[in-house]
Structure 1
């Protein structure tokens, strides 16, 4: 089987519960698989190496570039195309087939990046309706880069880039999905999003940086970025407009969790004295 001319980069820290399945899902399909690990204290590195991945250590120095841009600049730079996967993500069979049609047909690849929808799991169930996140996960490193907003003093994100997309042009959206199946308990979702809400609330206090980040989001993200009453809007969008109620209890749980996340951001921003539009 001809492998895809793409390097898979998997940024990790303590992903022992998920990493073996992620590496196994890509090892036979891509030219290289590299786990970029930030001092994991569990068996992440050993498990990744056992499945055939190269493991590269990473330690953030507190400045730019952050972790993903560092990967673009340092991980297997002999291969222009790089696919980012989280430690709990796997490409769907349909995505592998779609990538083969694009990269193995003998023609030059015109887009500089590809947006890929997530197949998202929450509370042990695959959401079919209420979840609509798209990641700009596949990049030509010679034509794409992550922005460097002035947020190094912000809490919450640390070594990872924030919730914005890498800059590239043109960008094409794929149909098939990356499957985001987190095997960790749901409390870890709330722990992560508590940190993320610290970063989002900090942005509300720094509107210039907030605007820098807004333009590096998808069109949908830019519209939501400006919207008022985000907790209510988030619930209505996920549960009603996107018919999350068809996902049963998991759809309700997810819509409530995202609404709570938006409420956290607004509450933290008000506590810090951010402008009224933070609601």
Structure 2
């Protein structure tokens, strides 16, 4: 069977729990599979090599480009098309078939990028309802780039690009999903989102950077960006409007978790302002030193 003319890039750090399944899901289907690893202290690199992936070490220098843009520039640049997978993601069989229809029929591929829906797992269950998560994961590197907003001083993200999409000349949305199934304990989800909320809260105090980033988000993300009462809107949208309740307890847990994430962002964003107000004291009171 002919391999897809696409490089799979898998950015990792300590993904030993998940990386074997991810590499196995792509190793026979794509032209090459490259794990770009940031100094893992577990067996990520050894496990990836054992499954046939190339492993490339990566150390961020604190500047742009960050990790994914670095991959676009450096991971087998002789091939135009690159598919990003997280260390806990696998392409569904339906997605592999869809990609074969697009890339192996002999016609030029017109879009510069493809948005791919995520089949999201939470608390051990595949969610069928609730949030619709879409990832711009398949890119023609000659026609795409990640933005470089002024957020290098922000906490929370480090070497990772923030919650925005790569910029592309033209985009087409695929139907079949990437399966996002994290085998790590659920506490790691909260650990990550605690860091992400640091970044989001920092943006609230840097509106010029926030506006740079807003233009590189999905349409859904841009609309949500303007919403008041985000924790309540988030829960009502996911659990009610998008029928997350049909996923049972997992749907409730995920809707609550995302609402809590939005609450964290708001609380952290308000904290410096509250501290400044507390220091000032009531009208007529002496300023604290």
- After superposition, what is the alpha-carbon deviation per residue over 1:158-199, rounded to whole angstroms, capped at 9, x for unaligned? 000000000002100000000000000000000000000000
Structure with higher Rg: it is 2
Which residue does the alignment assign to 1:36? 36
Which residue does the alignment assign to 2:17? 17
3-state SS in 2 of match to 1:221: helix
CA distance in 1, matches of 2:243, 2:4: 36
- TM-score, normalised on structure 1? 0.98
1:116 equivalent in alignment to 2:116: yes
Aligned residue runs from structure 1 range 204-243, under 5 A: 204-243=204-243
Which residue does the alignment assign to 1:277? none
Which residue does the alignment assign to 2:277? none
Unaligned 5+ runs, structure 2: 275-289
CA distance in 2, matches of 1:248, 1:273: 39
Deviation larger for 243-252 or 226-235: 226-235
CA distance in 1, matches of 2:53, 2:71: 15
- After superposition, what is the alpha-carbon deviation per residue over 1:109-147, rounded to whole angstroms, capped at 9, x for unaligned? 000000000000000000000131100000000000000
Which residue does the alignment assign to 2:258? 258
Which residue does the alignment assign to 1:137? 137
3-state SS in 1 of match to 2:76: coil
- After superposition, what is the alpha-carbon deviation per residue over 1:193-235, rounded to whole angstroms, capped at 9, x for unaligned? 0000000000000000000000001111110111111100100
CA apart distance, 1:272: 2.0
Which residue does the alignment assign to 1:159? 159
CA distance in 2, matches of 1:184, 1:159: 21
CA distance in 2, matches of 1:272, 1:158: 21
CA distance in 1, matches of 2:125, 2:28: 27
CA apart distance, 1:38: 0.1
Please say if residues 205 and 272 of structure 1, whose CA atoms lie closer than 8 Å, have aligned partners that are also in contact.
no
Which residue does the alignment assign to 1:203? 203
CA distance in 2, matches of 1:174, 1:30: 18
CA distance in 2, matches of 1:11, 1:273: 36
CA apart distance, 1:243: 0.1
Please say if residues 11 and 36 of structure 1, whose CA atoms lie closer than 8 Å, have aligned partners that are also in contact.
yes
CA distance in 2, matches of 1:227, 1:68: 29
CA distance in 2, matches of 1:228, 1:5: 45
CA distance in 2, matches of 1:35, 1:2: 22
Which residue does the alignment assign to 2:128? 128
- After superposition, what is the alpha-carbon deviation per residue over 1:43-100, rounded to whole angstroms, capped at 9, x for unaligned? 0000000000000000000000000000000000011000000000000000000000
3-state SS in 1 of match to 2:35: strand
Which residue does the alignment assign to 1:98? 98
1:269 equivalent in alignment to 2:285: no
Root mean square deviation of aligned Cα:
0.7
- TM-score, normalised on structure 2? 0.94
CA apart distance, 1:273: 2.3
Which residue does the alignment assign to 2:8? 8
3-state SS in 2 of match to 1:79: coil
